[in-house]
């Protein structure tokens, strides 16, 4: 968020890029945030993996660090195939959402400034409420069979 504010000040006020500068600052701040999260996640995972390997049954095992690094050097072909198989449904879902988003942005690109701003507000609201709606959808799908059984019993 701080990177976005600084980017807005520099690109909009400093360079006079207007709406394009604000959009560029937002996109760059998202990239910076993603890189920071990936870096901290990788650091945390490496630390946990080394702690698990070096401390076996709460006792120090000096050779554990070497074993941990050897294990993680290259994944097997079978492990990669399982990973891609497990990730395929999520990939398909995110890919389809991305395609819909690109189509909406392409449609909004030919719009006026006011229409483009309203599209951005609607997109922001969607991204704000999507996790809650997804959780509500999952909860209702898990509770629906029981509710239907009760309705049939009456």
Give the tens place of pLDDT for each residue, 39-59: 776 666 666 665 665 566 666
* pLDDT value of residue 98: 80
For residue 67, count other CB atoms closer than 10 A to its CB: 13
Confidence check: pLDDT of 22 > 60: yes
Identify the pLDDT of residue 53: 58
Higher pLDDT, 110 or 6: 6
Q: What is the pLDDT of residues 78-105, one digit of tens each?
A: 777 887 888 888 888 888 888 887 787 7
Q: Which of residues 47 and 32 earns the better pLDDT score?
A: 32
């Amino acid at each position: 968020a701080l990177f976005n504010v600084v980017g807005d000040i520099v690109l909009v006020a400093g360079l006079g890029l207007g709406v394009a500068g604000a959009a560029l600052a937002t996109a760059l701040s998202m990239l910076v945030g993603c890189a920071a999260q990936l870096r901290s996640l990788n650091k945390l995972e490496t630390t946990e993996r080394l702690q698990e390997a070096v401390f076996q049954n709460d006792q120090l095992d000096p050779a554990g660090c070497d074993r941990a690094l050897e294990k993680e050097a290259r994944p097997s072909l079978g492990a990669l195939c399982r990973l891609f198989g497990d990730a395929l449904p999520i990939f398909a879902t995110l890919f389809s959402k991305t395609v819909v988003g690109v189509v909406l942005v392409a449609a909004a690109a030919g719009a006026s400034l006011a229409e483009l701003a309203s599209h951005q507000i609607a997109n922001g609201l969607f991204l704000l409420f999507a996790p809650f709606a997804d959780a509500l959808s999952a909860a209702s799908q898990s509770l629906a069979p029981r509710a239907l059984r009760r309705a049939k019993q009456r």
